[in-house]
Amino acid sequence: MTDIKLKLSEIFYSLQGESSYSGLPCIFIRFAECNLNCNYCDTRYAHDIREQLSLAEIFGIIKEYPCKLVELTGGEPVLQDNILPLMELLHSHGYQILLETNGSLFLGDIPSHVIKIIDVKTPGSGEGDSFMKWNLRCLEPHDELKFVLTSFYDYKFALDFIKENKLESSKILFSPLTNVLSPRLLAGWMLKDGLHARLQLQLHKLISIQ
């Protein structure tokens, strides 16, 4: 099983910049290829395969870092046929696993110990109809739903999505695309509506780490 090859863009060690784990040291395994083409994608380079590594080779790299938090990101990691064996390998060695996914692909076989951070695409992404709503049945209490917002229209889309799917008690993240939507403006909307959600900025960009 350790001879299985996975398509990668890069592996690096940095601070977690998004989600409720923001600020924590984290090992990032960025997989290549994506099934979506968001207007604001900031990792378009990850659409290309830079290398293919076995599970043993991946583990040999990450075990050198002084950290037990790993994020599987992309691209879109769920496109990888052999992502589940990697999750099991990491789990067996005591790693806490975050999965950053766009939610357009089936998530029902993701192990319950993996923390899913699901990016629900808003209309401003150009991929607003991509989310597979069946995946809401797969949510664990520790999972998080992220909305990247470009406008008030996106904000209302997110509010309607949360209400229609009865997600008010879920862990919700609102992330403004800061070059088109002011974080201060978004904060005002959230305060006015008394929204039970977390405003998040991309910490890794604010401090220029990876």
pLDDT tens digit sequence for 71-130: 999 999 999 989 999 999 999 999 999 999 999 999 999 999 999 999 999 999 999 999
At 203, the pLDDT band (50, 70, 90 cuts) reads confident
Check residue 48 and report its DSSP letter: S
pLDDT tens digit sequence for 27-60: 999 999 999 999 999 899 999 999 999 999 999 9
What CATH code is carried by the domain that includes residue 117?
3.20.20.70
Q: Residue 114 sits in which domain range? A: 5-206
H helices then E strands: how many in the chain?
A: 5, 9
pLDDT tens digit sequence for 148-183: 999 999 999 999 999 999 999 999 999 999 999 999
pLDDT for residue 136: 97
Average pLDDT value for residue range 198-210: 75
Check residue 136 and report its DSSP letter: G
- Answer yes or no: pTM beyond 0.85: yes
Check residue 113 and report its DSSP letter: T
pLDDT for residue 134: 96
User: In sequence order, which ranges of 21-106 are alpha helices (DSSP H)?
Assistant: 55-62, 83-92
Q: How far apart are CA 27 and CA 35, in angstroms?
A: 24
Find out whether 197 and 156 touch, Cβ atoms under 8 Å: no
Residue 210 confidence (pLDDT) above 60? no
Sheet holding 115-119, edge to edge: 51-54, 5-15, 25-31, 69-73, 96-101, 115-119, 144-149, 171-176, 198-199
Check residue 168 and report its DSSP letter: T
H or E element that contains 130:
none
Question: How many structural domains compose the chain?
Answer: 1
Residue 20 confidence (pLDDT) above 60? yes
pLDDT for residue 123: 98
Residue 202 confidence (pLDDT) above 90? no
pLDDT for residue 204: 65
Q: How far apart are CA 6 and CA 81, in angstroms?
A: 8
H or E element that contains 36:
none
Mean of per-residue pLDDT scores for the chain: 94
Q: How far apart are CA 51 and CA 33, in angstroms?
A: 12
